[in-house]
Amino acid sequence: MPTIAVDAMGGDFAPDAIVQGVAAVSLSTEIQCILVGNENRLQKLLEGVTYNPENIDIVNATEVIGMADDPKEAVRKRRDSSLLVATRLVESGRAAALVTAGNTGAAVLACAKHLPMIPGIRRVALASVYPRQVEYPGQDYLALILDVGATIRSDADELIQFAVMGSAYARRVSKVAAPRVGLLNMGREDNKGGEALVEAHRRLRSLQEVNFVGNLEGHELLSGRADVVVCEGLLGNVVLKLLEGLAEVVVELTAAAAQRSFRWRAGLAMLSSGVGRLRELTDYASYGGAPILGCQHVVIKAHGRSTALAIGNAVKVAAKAVRDQVPQEISAAVEKVG
C-alpha cells in the first residue's frame, strides 16, 4: 500500500478536517498516511478521534502557508512549512504522493520547484473534473478540464502537452480507452482563436495518440462532445469558477423551494436528476480533488473548502493513482508524442 504525505495545515478547515479525514481512511483502508504539520496539535486532534495508529505517522513542520499568502514568497521563504515538508517527503521517496487542500499557487510552485518533472514536460497543469451530459454508453459523466490555473497563458506546445497529459490521465482513471479531447475556443472552425490555438488545433489533428474532436465552444462544455477539455489557465480558471458558481445558484434555489412544502418537494423530484448533477459540482466531498499533472509523482490538490470526507476521498484518489501508475502512463504518452 502506498504512503501518502498529507499537508495537515492547508485548507479552510485545517487541521481538524484533515486529521478527521485521514483518521477515517486509516480505519477503512490499508493506505499509509503521514500527517505533516504542528506535531503537538496533530497528536492532540488524533487523540480526539478513532483511528488506526498503524496507518498514520506524524512529521513535524513548524510553519504554515496561509490561503491568502503570496505563493512565490511563501514557497521561497517558508522552508519548514507543512506543504514544503510534505513535498520533500515525496521528493526523498518516503512518500509516494502528496495531498494538500492549501494555497493552490503554492502547491503548484512547490511541485514545479521541488519534484522531478516528467521528461519533456515544460509546465505542470492543474486539472479538474466537472459533471456534464453523457453522449455514449460507458462515457464517464465527469469531464476533465485543464489547465485551470497553474498557468496563465499557453503556447501551442503547452496546449498539446495538456492534451496528452489529460488524455493519459482520463484513460487511466476513467478507463475510457480513447477519451475525446477538445480544444476550448471561440468557434468550431480551425482558423479560430489566434496563433497558439490555430497551431495547437492543426498539430492535434495529426496526432495519432490523441483522440482529438476539434474546437469546443463555451456551450459545448456541458455536452458529452469532449471528455478532456484543453485550455490555458486563465480561461480554464474563469470557466471552472463560473460552472461552480452557477451550480451553487441553482442548488440554493432548489434548496429554498424544497423547504417550503411537500407539494413543492414533489415538483422538485422531476428536476432532481438534473439538479443532482449540478449539486455534485458544489459537493466537493464527492470529489477526490484536482490532480496536478506533469510531475513524476502523484499530487492531488483538494479544494480549499474540503471537509473530512473530501480529504479522505483525495487520499484514496492519490493512492489509486499511485497503484494505477498514472505518472508512468503520462510519461509514456509524452515520450511517444515526442
Residues that bind its own copies (CB under 8 A): 70, 133, 149, 152-153, 184-187, 191, 193-194, 197, 217-222, 233-235, 237-246, 248-250, 253-254, 256-257, 260, 263-271, 274-275
Question: Shortest distance, CB of residue 17 to its own copies, whole angstroms?
Answer: 22
Q: Which is nearer to its own copies, 48 or 276 (CB)?
A: 276
Q: How far is the CB of 104 from its own copies (least distance, A)?
A: 10
Inter-residue contact 302 to 314 (CB < 8 Å): yes
**DSSP assignment of 152-181:** S---HHHHHHHHHHHHHHHHHHS--SS-EE
Number of continuous H segments (helices) and E segments (strands) in the chain: 11, 11
In the complex with its own copies, the residue whose CB is nearer, 62 or 191, is 191
Nearer to its own copies, 229 or 311 (CB): 229
C-alpha cell at 99: 495531498
Give the phi and the psi of residue 137 in degrees, each rounded to 5: -60, 135
Rounded-to-5 percentages of helix, strand, coil across the chain: 50, 15, 35
Minimum distance of its own copies from residue 255's CB (angstroms): 11
Nearer to its own copies, 177 or 269 (CB): 269
Residue with cell 456534464: 132
Q: Which is nearer to its own copies, 220 or 227 (CB)?
A: 220
**CB of 132: closest distance to its own copies in angstroms?**
9
Closer to its own copies by CB, 244 or 324: give it: 244
Spell 43-80 as b/e; 16+ CB within 10 A means b: eebbeeeebeeebbbbbebebbbeeebebeebbeebee
User: CB burial class (10 A; 0-12, 13-18, 19+) of residue 265?
Assistant: middle
Give the CA-trace dihedral at 265, 269, 270, 274, to 10 degrees. 110
Query: In angstroms, what is the minimal distance from the CB of 265 to its own copies?
Result: 7
Query: 261: how many CB neighbours lie within 10 A of its CB?
Result: 10
**Which is closer to its own copies, CB of 141 or CB of 209?**
141
- Residue 129 beta carbon to its own copies: minimum distance, rounded to whole angstroms: 16
Which of 207, 18, 15, 239 lies closest to 126 in space, CA to CA? 239
Fill in the DSSP letter of residue 277.
H
Q: How far is the CB of 271 from its own copies (least distance, A)?
A: 6
Q: For the CB of residue 160, give the shortest distance to its own copies in the complex, in Å.
A: 18
Residue 116 vs 274, nearer CB to its own copies: 274
Q: CB of 221: closest distance to its own copies in angstroms?
A: 6
Q: Which of residues 117 and 234 has its CB atom nearest to its own copies in the complex?
A: 234
Beta strands in the chain (DSSP E): 3-7, 32-37, 56-60, 97-100, 125-131, 142-146, 180-184, 211-216, 228-230, 290-293, 298-301
Query: What is the C-alpha to C-alpha distance for residues 169 and 192, in angstroms, rounded to an integer?
Result: 27
Residue type, 217: E
